[in-house]
Amino acid sequence: MPPKQQIHKLVQIFSSPKTPQTNSLIPKPLRTPLPPASSDTAELPDLPTWLRHKENPEITDHNDDDFVIPSVAEWIQNSNVGNFNQVGSHLLFESEVSDIEKVSEILKKHYPSTDSVVQGLNECGVNATNTLISQLLKRFSNDWVLAFGVFTWAKNQTGYTHTSELYDSMVDILGKRKQFNLMWELVKEMEKLKGYITLVTMGKVMRRLARAGQHEDAIEVFRGMEKFGVSKDIEALNILMDALIKAGSVENAHSVFMEFKDCIPADSHSFNVLIHGYCKARKLDDAKKTMEEMEKHGFQPDVVSYTSFIESYCKSKDFRNANAILDEMQEKGCKPNVVTYTIIMLALGKAKQVNEALEVYDKMKRNDCVPDASFYSSLIFVLSQSGRLKDSWDIFEDMKKQGIHRDWLTYKTMIASACSHLQEENALKLLQRMEEDSCKPDIQIYAPLLKMCCRKKRMKVLKFLLDHMFKNNVSIDLGTYTLLVRGLCKSGKLEHASSFFEEAVLKGMIPKDGTYKILVEELEQNNMTEAKERIQKLMLQAKGQNPI
C-alpha cells in the first residue's frame, strides 16, 4: 500500500464512526517560513570581567542575538526578559516580589556552605511554609548546598515543621548528589519523628545508592529496613530489585531474590522485574528460565512478561522473533496491550520500516486495542523521523478531537521534532500551548529548545527559556549545562559558554572532561587567555585539587 494511502487509512482507523468529525485529520498548513533575522545589533550581556575578550577585539556578537519570532514576541516580551546579569543570577526576574522570588533573589549569590545559605536567608523577612519549601527544593534540586541550606533555614524557624514529604525530597536531593553522609544524618533525624520514615523514604535511599554503584550498600539498607520501622516485605524487595536492575545489575537483583525467596514469598511482579532485567541486559536465556520459574510458582506469564521479550527483540531489530512472541502470547490467550503495540511500532519506525510501523494499527484494530496518548506520541515520532512533519502535526491536532489528552510525552515529541528541523516558531508555540494546556514542562522538554537556541544564536530566546524553566521550578542538571556549553562553543558564544561552565562548578558539579576540553580549545584558538586560565582553575576546583 502506498505510504499516502496508509496515512489516510490510519486516519480512518482513528476517526470514530460515531463522531461527525471524520475528516478531522485533513492536513492543516504549518506556520509560514521564519522571517529573516533582525539586523539590529544585540546588546552585549553583562559578564564577569575575566570573560571580556580584550585580546581579540575582532570577535563580535551576531546580529540575531535579540531576534524573536514575531508571532511569539509578545509572549516572550511579557516575561520581561533582560540581559544576563552576573553568573548564577540570569534566571531571575527583578520585578517579582513573591516570597519564592525574594528567597531566590538572595540565593543567586554563591554560597560556599549550607551555613552561609542559612545566614543569608535569616534576614529575608519571609516566613517558611510547606508550599514555599516544596517549590524551592524543586527549583534548586540540582544544587544541594542551596537546597539543604533552604531546608535547614526553614527547619530553624519558630512554628514551622517540615512534612515527611519534604524530608523525603531532601533525602532524594542529597542522594542524587552523592552526599550520602548528610543523607543518612537526615534519615536518623527522621527516625526521631514518629511516622516520618516510610517505604518511600527507604526506596529513595536504595535507588540513589544503587544508581551511584553502591549496590551492596543498597542491599544492606533492605536488610536493615525493619529497624527504621519499615516492613521488609515483597513490595520493598521488588523496589530494591528494580533499583538494582535500573542501575545495571540484574545479577545482584537475582541474588537478592534468591536470598529472601524462602522468607518473603515472591509475587508475579517479582518475576516480571527479573524478566525485564534479563531482557534489558540481552540475557534472554536467563529471562526464559525466570519465566519457567514463574510458572512453577503458580504464576502465569502475563502481558508484561511477554512484552519484555518483545522489547528486547525490537531493540535488536529482530522483528521476526518479536512477531513470534506476539503470536505465542495470543495463542496462550494473553492479549497484547497498547504498550506492546507501541513498542513494536516505535522500533519499526526507528528502523526506517515506516510502512510496517503503520501496519501495526491493523493488528491493534483486530484486537480491539485502543490507542492512548503514548501511542499517538510514538506515531508522531515515527512520522516526524520519516520527514512527514505535516502528517505528524495533523495527528497532534486531532488528538483532542478524538478525546485523547495531549500529555507531556506528546509535547516532548512534537517539540523535539520541531527543534531538530529548526522550526523555531512551531517549537516555541508548542511550549506556549503546553503552558495553556496546564501541562508542566520538565528538563527534557526544554533541552531541545535550548539546543536549538544555541544553534541559531537566539540569545534573547535562550534567556527567556532559562527564566521560564526557573519559574516552573525546573532545576538545571549537569546534562543541561553540558548541552549549553557545547552548543554555545559551536556557535562562537564563548563568553556565555564559559559563564555556564563556571555556574555548574559553583553548584558543585564536575563537568565532563570532553566538555572541558572543547571549551578550553575554543578559548585558546580565539586568544582568550584569561578566560582559558580561569576555566582551567575552575576544573581543578571541581575535581577538588585546587579550591579557589
Choose the final residue of a domain: 457, 476, 495: 476
Confidence of residue 64 (pLDDT cuts 50, 70, 90): low
Q: Is the same domain home to 233 and 307? A: no
Q: Is residue 87 part of a domain?
A: no
Domain co-membership, 261 together with 284: no
Is residue 310, in this structure, part of any structural domain at all? Answer: yes
Domain count, the chain: 5
What's the rounded Cα separation, in Å, for the pair 187 and 193? 10
Instruction: For residue range 234-260, list pLDDT tens digits in order.
Output: 999 999 999 999 999 999 999 999 999
Identify whether residues 205 and 243 lie together within a single domain.
Answer: yes
Residue 58, in any domain of the structure: no
| 188 and 241 belong to one structural domain | yes
- How many residues can be counted in the chain? 548
Query: Does 257 lie in the same domain as 175?
Result: yes
How many Å apart are CA 337 and CA 363, to the nearest integer? Answer: 11
Residue 54 — φ and ψ, nearest 5°? -65, -30
* Residue 59 is assigned to a structural domain of this protein: no
Report yes or no: 424 and 410 within 8 Å, Cβ to Cβ: no
User: pTM above 0.85?
Assistant: no
* Domain-ending residue, one of 476, 506, 525: 476
Task: Give me 409's grid cell.
Answer: 510525552
CA-based nearest residue to 423, from 71, 61, 38, 43? 71
| Statement to judge: residues 460 and 495 lie in one domain | no
Residue 336 reports pLDDT greater than 90: yes
Closest CA to 65 of 334, 453, 406: 453
454 domain-assigned? yes
Closest of 266, 274, 258 to residue 308, by C-alpha: 274
What is the tens place of the pLDDT at every residue in 340-377? 999 999 999 999 999 999 999 888 888 889 899 999 99
Give the residue from 219, 281, 218 showing the smallest Cα distance to 250.
281
Contacts of 139 (CB under 8 A, 6+ apart): 100, 104, 470, 473, 474, 475
User: Same domain for 393 and 470?
Assistant: yes
Please tell me the distance from the alpha carbon of residue 81 to that of residue 25, in angstroms, as a whole number. Answer: 37
End-to-end CA distance of the chain: 66
Q: With the C-alpha atoms ordered 445, 447, 451, 453, is the resulting torsion angle positive or negative?
A: positive
Which domain range does residue 185 map to? 163-265
How does pLDDT run across 506-531, given as a tens digit for each residue?
Answer: 888 999 999 999 999 999 999 999 99
Average pLDDT, stretch 1-20?
47
Residues 289 and 350 in one domain: yes
> SS3 sequence, 158-218?
CCCCCCHHHHHHHHHHHHHCCCHHHHHHHHHHHHCCCCCCCHHHHHHHHHHHHHCCCHHHH
CA–CA gap between residue 148 and residue 116 (Å, rounded):
11
524: Cα separation from own chain's centroid: 33
* Mean pLDDT (the chain, rounded): 85
By CB atoms closer than 10 A (0-12, 13-18, 19+), residue 306 is buried
Asked whether residue 86 is domain-assigned, the answer is: no
CATH number at residue 300: 1.25.40.10
459 with 496: CB under 8 angstroms?
yes
* Least confident residue range of 130-139, 212-221, 360-369, 444-453: 360-369
